[in-house]
Structure 1
Amino acid sequence: MGGSNENFPGVMRPSTIRGGLKPGGGNFTAGVGNNRRALSTINRNIIGAPPHPCAVHKRGVLTEKVTAQLAVREHHPSLESLSCVRPNYMSQQFDINERMRGILIDWLIEVHYKFELMDETLYLTINLIDRFLAVQSVIRKKLQLVGVTAMLLACKYEEVSVPVVDDLILISDKAYCRKEVLDMEKLMINTLQFNLSLPTPYVFMRRFLKAAQSDKRLELLSFFIIELCLVEYEMLRFPPSLLAAAAIFTAHCTLSGSKQWSKTCERHANYSENQLMECAKLMVSLHQKAGTGKLTSVYKKYNTSKYGYAARTEPAVFLIDEGC
């Protein structure tokens, strides 16, 4: 995949987003130190911008991609361990930390939402970021570049229409040039050994929701809960399948007001209620603070009619009460 020849400026002019979606270079680095300063700028720009479908360049034949995806879905249990990263990998980074990761992911969730990309793209983007950072040291002023490049690669894998590089430079407030993005793309794809076909929590979510015979309300609440986990570094200690099962279990409990985990769900997910409880309690805690914390992209996204105002659902606090 190397350097992107698909994304040349002649395909389509990059879209204009008012003010850019920026933490942008120095602003982003300074914003990390103050935690929210950069994000407040991002939020103002995103809220003021119109919806921005990022359809720019039709890809060619997708047969190989579809075949690869089917193979992954058929064999994803055995591949899951390859998708996981060490839950303490950030301790080996010398210039970035888990808080900076959270700011980056929160921003990417807003970018993903504004560009109207596929759900799979978001999950793959975050997976690529964590797998890359787990083996490659990165200085803080390049962290946003890692995120933008991971989104570019994820789009190439998941989307039919791929953003041009210039659009990604624009949302970064022109903090990086085209060559930097393409060079990072080469480094990332080689570091990951061209392996993009690993199962993310999204794959398991779809499978388990089907087993649960979910309605739209359960589906939206489940995705709200698991997207809260994407921002949180501490949730990396749980494998993707357990995160997915726990999100659906927590959503079930939230909507019913009692513990709900059917034998059918247990059989398909291969997790018992007891195995899910630790993760579910953490998810309830994330749900409780979702609208009041400093990183609120997921809450704002799911506090819209498009997502059924799932964020307004009262959390299942009984799950974290003593004796539960």
Structure 2
Amino acid sequence: MAYHQPTQSRYSQCDSYFIESDNDGIYAARAEARERTRAIARMQQRAIAEELSRATADEYQEDIMDHMEHMESETMPDVNSIDIQTEIQWFMRPYLLDFLVEAHAAFQLLPDTLFLAVNLLDRYCSRRVVYKRHYQLVGCAALLIAAKFGDRKERVPTVRELRSMCCSLYDEEMFTQMEWHVLQTLDWAIGHPTVDGFLQLALSEVPYDPEVEHMTWFICEVALFHKDFVSTRPSVLARSSLALARCILARPPVRQSQWAGTYDPATVLNLSNHLYQPSQVLARKYASIHLSSVSTTVEDFLQQQAQIARRNTPPISSVDVAQQKHNADGYLAPHTPQKSQYGSVMQHGCLTPPITPDNDFGENNYGQGHSLLPRIYPSTPTPLSNVQQGPPQYSYQQYLPPQHVH
């Protein structure tokens, strides 16, 4: 029986249709050995590159530090300018930061990206009047710019993903337009030395301890939520947070002769006073075992300190109790920080350019059927269709502040 020989073949000419079997695994062993050799060569090249980088860094360390300190002074936000914003207020900022922290974690971005995004947000708010319905849009644009600037390319969020996280409140063109306007407003000066950048310099002077690094990140992110630290320089905040983290974890302090040991005691004390009620989003993020469960460690530490304080506190009289109750009911009671009353026109600023969405629920439609909800918030309200179906995962509805009486 004759077999038909094809005139053309997709494969190269071969004398035989039979392939020699690798019964003894010789070819597989040789391939594995070649791959092992390549891996060893790559490791050696990486080690050589790191050694050269360390040698270069040591040589230019002082110049690098001088440049970073110069840049941090040039790229700090102005708290006084944010104070005279006509619509956005300080109590709105923690809710936006909760959203940014969740988005940052969802895209698995670098820690440096979050700190840079918040800096870009605050600097933009220092120079432009921002409508509360655009506040979330500015935050998303800042996160997008920060991710493009210093994060891994495959992790940079797309405009479509950001639009989905904002419940499709903004069109994709509005994200692009706001991104361009933020860059134009900041004169394309994005290279802000963040807290994490200074922290890595401080950690390079001491033996590496991942728990200390995670604890310092947690303290620095807690500081992002408070107005007191907006004007604090990242270099001071990084060293002070590191000192507080080592204290909480019972690590020996860094020597004063080292750069990491020259922290600010007042900043350390102020940071410790803000650890008692961190953001729930932040506490949940740092309760992960991948981040050493540092939020749980802080909670246990604070409980121990409270027990020690109760044991060492002498009994108080009924007069002192009455005085403390009076203070709690008065000016010393916890309250939402409010800005001073300024004029309706912002100095040295102009309005943000994106067009208001067609369905402006902030002032007109959002209150229909929801008269008990505060009309001054949210800055980017959820459409009525979403309200009827329940709040979506990334909606501001879950971050509504306590009800206000007008």
TM-score normalised to structure 1 length: 0.69
The aligned residue for residue 196 of structure 2 is 202
The aligned residue for residue 218 of structure 1 is 212
The aligned residue for residue 104 of structure 1 is 96
Deviations 1:129-176 (A, max 9, x none): 011001111010000000011111111111222222111101111110
1:297 and 2:289 correspond: no
Counterpart of 1:278, as a letter, is: A
Deviates more, 1:170-179 or 1:205-214: 205-214
Q: How many angstroms does 1:88 deviate by? A: 3.0
The aligned residue for residue 247 of structure 1 is 241
Counterpart of 2:262, as a letter, is: Y
The aligned residue for residue 46 of structure 1 is none
Is the Cα contact below 8 Å between 1:228 and 1:286 reproduced in 2? Answer: yes
Q: 2:256 aligns with which of 249, 263, 279?
A: 263
Deviations 1:6-43 (A, max 9, x none): xxxxxxxxxxxxxxxxxxxxxxxxxxxxxxxxxxxxxx
**More helix, by proportion:** 1
Instruction: Return the alpha-carbon distance in structure 1 between the equivalents of residues 81 and 108 of structure 2.
Output: 31
Deviations 1:96-135 (A, max 9, x none): 0111111111210111011111111111111100110011
1:191 and 2:185 correspond: yes
Q: How is 1:232-243 mapped onto 2 (pairs within 5 angstroms)?
A: 232-243=226-237
1:178 and 2:169 correspond: no
Is the Cα contact below 8 Å between 1:208 and 1:269 reproduced in 2? Answer: yes
TM-score normalised to structure 2 length: 0.56
Instruction: Return the alpha-carbon distance in structure 1 between the equivalents of residues 135 and 194 of structure 2.
Output: 21
Instruction: Return the alpha-carbon distance in structure 1 between the equivalents of residues 108 and 65 of structure 2.
Output: 24
Cα RMSD (Å) of the superposition? 2.3
The aligned residue for residue 66 of structure 1 is none
Q: How many angstroms does 1:72 deviate by? A: 6.7
Is the Cα contact below 8 Å between 1:121 and 1:151 reproduced in 2? Answer: yes
Deviations 1:65-109 (A, max 9, x none): xxxxx9976720121101212233321200001111111112101
Whose Rg is larger? 2
Instruction: Return the alpha-carbon distance in structure 2 between the equivalents of residues 225 and 145 of structure 1.
Output: 26
Any gaps of 5 or more consecutive residues in structure 2? 1-60, 310-406
Deviations 1:172-207 (A, max 9, x none): 111100111111111100000011112111111111
Instruction: Return the alpha-carbon distance in structure 1 between the equivalents of residues 305 and 100 of structure 2.
Output: 29
- The number of equivalent residue pairs is 241
The aligned residue for residue 290 of structure 2 is 306
Instruction: Return the alpha-carbon distance in structure 2 between the equivalents of residues 72 and 149 of structure 1.
Output: 29
**73 and 155 in structure 1: CA distance in 2 versus 1, 3 angstrom threshold:** farther
Instruction: Return the alpha-carbon distance in structure 2 between the equivalents of residues 89 and 206 of structure 1.
Output: 31
Q: How many angstroms does 1:317 deviate by? A: 5.2
**289 and 88 in structure 1: CA distance in 2 versus 1, 3 angstrom threshold:** same
**270 and 262 in structure 1: CA distance in 2 versus 1, 3 angstrom threshold:** closer
Instruction: Return the alpha-carbon distance in structure 2 between the equivalents of residues 72 and 117 of structure 1.
Output: 25
Instruction: Return the alpha-carbon distance in structure 2 between the equivalents of residues 90 and 213 of structure 1.
Output: 40
The aligned residue for residue 95 of structure 1 is 87
Ranges of 4+ aligned residues in structure 1 off by more than 3 Å: 70-74, 315-318
Alignment identity in percent? 25
Any gaps of 5 or more consecutive residues in structure 1? 1-69
Q: How is 1:60-79 mapped onto 2 (pairs within 5 angstroms)?
A: 75-79=67-71
